[in-house]
A and B are shown apart, each in its own frame.
Chain A
């Protein structure tokens, strides 16, 4: 149960880590803070880039990531998103 909430929470955690670092952050740092396996982390990262929550920057020392406006909006509306998902039963998944 609560798979949706977990997913929303993971996205929130990743975005929060980037925000706390005032913009640009290295992937290893996000991986460490988000507490995910590297495979899961890569999936989330790709997903977040595709959905335009974060942008990837190619620098001399390697890749860094920063938040987009959509990413900031997600962080500020996170609590409301959770409340809405809970209120309309969107987080409930029946056992098969």
Chain B
């Protein structure tokens, strides 16, 4: 089993630091990677997949140099290798049109408006990672304590047999 990566794509250093700080509770069980541009994020994803790892969640800003966040998320959703990744937009500036398109094209699982609270971010990350491990991971036990325990236990109950 490989450690699941949480990828943060945000070009402003201060915002990136704030997200990183709020992700701290997840740092023990997940690998957290930072990227400041789409190209950077692409290479993190490529490297992670190459090392047999998986990116479970991306937290993505909307206004990025050269590319809109929604565009990038749609791009990720169209690639079978990155489609299972849960995709969250953190932004204050995404217009309706971009957002609606991202939702319709399957590129967006959740939208966090700036400014966010630590608690809000925790809830969203927990929920999205829970969705991810339920869909993609066979052994759920390592996540009971850190993600949505009761939901994971329900799934374990369906899958679990004596040995």
Chains A and B belong together in one complex: no
